[in-house]
Structure 1
């Protein structure tokens, strides 16, 4: 019984996220922004005030143009909460900001293992593939993001741009 009770918050979060993702698929562009914000809010809840603080410190450091400091905070978060996908996602973003695409891609892999619906991680991976000159891979990943979030910011434009670029070439 104790094990069941300890799983209730996670189950509630999953049910809430399931409902939000269902809504995201049918929302118009304006409504999708609200739903997306609600999803990010849920993703940002680790279940620990200390871990949430490390996530916030990492995000604040990135916002202040200090991705190296963000990486330190987010590595501490991941060390203490390796099952918290948003810690990995935030660190992937910090690595991206420093131009360290290899570690960013590795962290995105962890995010998608823990949270396969993470449209933000997919979008980030698409951006990395574009910067690495891999348009076919970028297009594939962007389309996967759109399957989850049809109005993801900038992703429709990226798909149109890459489809035009790849038109007539072997995918």
Structure 2
């Protein structure tokens, strides 16, 4: 009986160790679900706070090394070094292919470098992984607008407004494109 108890403890420890990240992920998902739900009807100051909290959560990969790559990639973009940003963010997407924000960040870097095809492909991947990421959807709208697809851009901005009605200038983007895409009354 002593042998069974000795063998059971390491097995139990392994099961608990493996289930802890899954439990944390489930708790994070439930927390994000609640935040998204609250965001839909929050007044502007509360919506801004919730939106920032959601973006902060979406920027956490679960790995300090991957978080550092994201941070450095964003810093390179802010400094105007899109080549370095693409290099850092490519390392991130290579090592953490399930991390949606890595794909989103690299799509922004590609767009800034004028590489619209790769930017669109990365946005597609980011939104496949996280279809509620309003910042990525907004980036999609901006990219579609840039390549001359105002109707699709309007649709993307409409999705952003449904998730986060007070996000950046989504209302202005919708108003700007409304006449061009929705026609006018006679």
Per-residue CA deviation, residues 3-40 of structure 1 (Å, 9 max, x unaligned), is 43230121121111111101111111111111111001
1:126 aligned onto 2:146: no
**TM-score, structure 2 normalization:** 0.87
Q: Which of 1 and 2 has greater Rg?
A: 2
Match status 1:107 vs 2:136: no
The residue number in structure 1 matching 2:42 is 27
1:47, CA displacement in angstroms? 0.7
SS at match of 1:158: helix
Q: 1:56 aligns with which of 71, 78, 84?
A: 71
Structure 2, unaligned runs of 5 or more: 1-14
**Structure 1 residue ranges, 4+ long, deviating more than 4 angstroms after superposition:** none
CA RMSD of aligned residues (A): 1.2
- Give the aligned partner of residue 43 of structure 1: 58
1:49-77, CA deviations, whole angstroms, 9 ceiling, x for partnerless residues?
A: 11111011101101111111011000001
User: Aligned pair count?
Assistant: 169
**SS of aligned partner of 1:153:** coil
1:6 & 1:34 partners in 2: Cα distance? 27
Question: Given the alignment, which residue of 10, 19, 38 partners 2:25?
Answer: 10
